[in-house]
């Protein structure tokens, strides 16, 4: 059971780190690469950064939901009696 918590913590840290890098990538206006013939290739990274952002947020959602589910349902279901 502790392995699941450790693995989930590592996944959450990795996703938060990648989220920081994705937000930093989306702040760039354009990326410039120089080709062999001397010309320049310009590329706007915002579209791909948005795709990475959505993927990272989905990963965080599912990992967090898994951790919350395992914490909430770890004790089992207790039977409640309704005596008067």
Please give the pLDDT value at position 84: 58
Instruction: Examine the pLDDT at 2 and tell me if it is beyond 90.
Output: no
Residue range(s) defining the domain that contains residue 53: 2-66
Domain-embedded: residue 18: yes
Q: State what percent of residues in the chain have pLDDT above 70.
A: 87
Torsion angle of the four alpha carbons 57, 62, 64, 70, in this order, in degrees rounded to the nearest 10: 180
Q: What is the DSSP string of 7-48?
A: HHHHHHHHHHHHHHHHHHHHT-S-EEEE-TTS-EEEE-THHH
Question: Is-above-0.75 flag for pTM?
Answer: no
**Residue 22, in any domain of the structure:** yes
In a domain, 77, yes or no: no
Total number of domains in the chain: 1
Does residue 75 belong to any structural domain of this protein? no
What does the pLDDT read at residue 33?
Answer: 87
- Residue 82 inside a domain? The answer is no
Do the domain assignments include residue 80? no
Q: What is the pLDDT of residues 41-78, one digit of tens each?
A: 888 888 899 999 999 999 999 999 988 888 887 765 55
* pLDDT at residue 54, rounded to an integer: 95
Burial of 26 from C-beta contacts in 10 A (0-12 / 13-18 / 19+): middle
The values of phi and psi at residue 3, to 5°, are -60, -40
């Amino acid at each position: 059971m502790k392995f699941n918590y450790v693995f989930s913590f590592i996944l959450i840290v990795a996703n938060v780190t990648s989220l920081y890098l994705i937000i930093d990538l989306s702040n760039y206006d354009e990326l410039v690469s120089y080709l062999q013939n001397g010309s320049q290739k310009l590329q706007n990274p915002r579209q791909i950064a948005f795709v990475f952002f959505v993927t990272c947020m989905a990963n965080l959602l599912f990992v967090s939901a898994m951790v919350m589910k395992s914490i909430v349902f770890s004790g089992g279901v207790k039977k409640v009696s309704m005596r008067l």
